[in-house]
Amino acid sequence: MTHEVVFLFDVDNTLLDNDRIAADLRRHLAHTFGEPAAVRYFAIFEQLRAELGYADYLGALQRFRLEHPHDTHLLHMSSWLVDYPFANRLFPGSLDAIEHVRQWGPAVILSDGDVVFQPRKIERSGLWEAVDGHVLIYLHKEQELHDVARRYPAKHYVLIDDKIRILSAVKAVWGDRLTTVFPRQGHYALDEATVAQYPPADVTIERIGELLNYDRDTLIGATRHATALPAESTEGS
């Protein structure tokens, strides 16, 4: 079945305030292990993200453990991460935005991440249920558009993502079949220097809840022609 329109939602800093989650983790690490350990963990985390192209909190914890093999407190850290109350970190209006667009077509989570923590985050936040299990998680989602289209064929797509690089990369492939929506939430979206390197999104909103102000025809009609991208736009985030 080919849908008239499919809505693709990113998760981190689009529907879920991942910056606050990271800040909570930093505070917890500093309280439990001390500030130097918190600094070291996030240095490992950023190194691993550079290697993998996506955030891997549990993978960083495993590497951190290799440096502290006899610290039994680390055994509780994975539970802290996995059992974190993610639903408390949904941006206001996130679930309403999903419900709003579902009247016109399927709402699908389209995310990058690891195979354990990212699905857990989506499930415990309530997002998995909100999209009726329509969840796609890839290593580099902008490189998997053929699989997205195979699973959710549509005449038109609307992609909502806080990373302008991702929006531009997908626009370069799907062109006028895609409307890009850029919620200016989180540190990526607020990095003016980075944002300025890419063409503007078709629609820019200040928060995800503003999506309720748009109807189907306005979103589909907002699409623009794709623009050439910077050379680095094809690299993993």
Render pLDDT for 70-79 as a digit per residue (tens, 0 to 9). 777 776 777 8
Tell me the pLDDT band of 229, cut-offs 50, 70 and 90.
very low
Query: Are the C-beta atoms of 151 and 125 separated by less than 8 Å?
Result: no
- Least confident range from 90-94, 118-122, 224-228: namely 224-228
Q: What one-letter code names the amino acid at 64?
A: F
- Cα 148 to Cα 146: distance, rounded to the nearest angstrom: 5
> What is the pLDDT, as a whole number, of residue 93?
97
Tell which CATH classification among 1.20.58.2240, 3.30.565.10, 3.40.50.2300, 3.40.50.1000 matches the domain 3-17+90-227: 3.40.50.1000
> Scanning the structure block, which residue is given the tokens 């995800």?
208
> Looking at the chain, which residues constitute the CATH 3.40.50.1000 domain(s)?
3-17+90-227
- Residue 65 or 212, more confident: 212
- Average pLDDT of span 95-117: 95
Tell me the pLDDT band of 228, cut-offs 50, 70 and 90.
very low
> Scanning the structure block, which residue is given the tokens 């354990």?
116
- Average pLDDT of span 22-32: 90
- Average pLDDT of span 131-151: 96
List the structure tokens of 40: 């070291």
> Looking at the chain, which residues constitute the CATH 1.10.286.50 domain(s)?
18-86
Residues of the chain with pLDDT > 90, as a percent, come to: 70
Kindly tell me if the per-residue pLDDT of 233 is higher than 50: no
Residue 7's H or E segment, with its range, is: strand 3-9
Instruction: Note the helical H segments in the chain.
Output: 18-33, 35-52, 57-67, 74-82, 94-101, 117-124, 127-130, 145-151, 164-174, 186-189, 192-195, 216-221
* Exposure letters 188-219 (e unless 16+ CB within 10 A, then b): bbeeeeebeebbebbbebeebbbbeebebeeb
Mean pLDDT of the residues in the chain: 90
List the structure tokens of 108: 């699908």
> What is the pLDDT, as a whole number, of residue 225?
62
- Cα 155 to Cα 208: distance, rounded to the nearest angstrom: 24
- Average pLDDT of span 76-97: 91
Of 13, 18, 54, 19, nearest in space to 143 by CA: 54
- Average pLDDT of span 111-122: 91
- Cα 43 to Cα 123: distance, rounded to the nearest angstrom: 27
> What is the pLDDT, as a whole number, of residue 52?
86
Tell which CATH classification among 1.10.286.50, 3.50.50.60, 1.10.3730.10, 3.40.50.300 matches the domain 18-86: 1.10.286.50
Kindly tell me if the per-residue pLDDT of 117 is higher than 70: yes
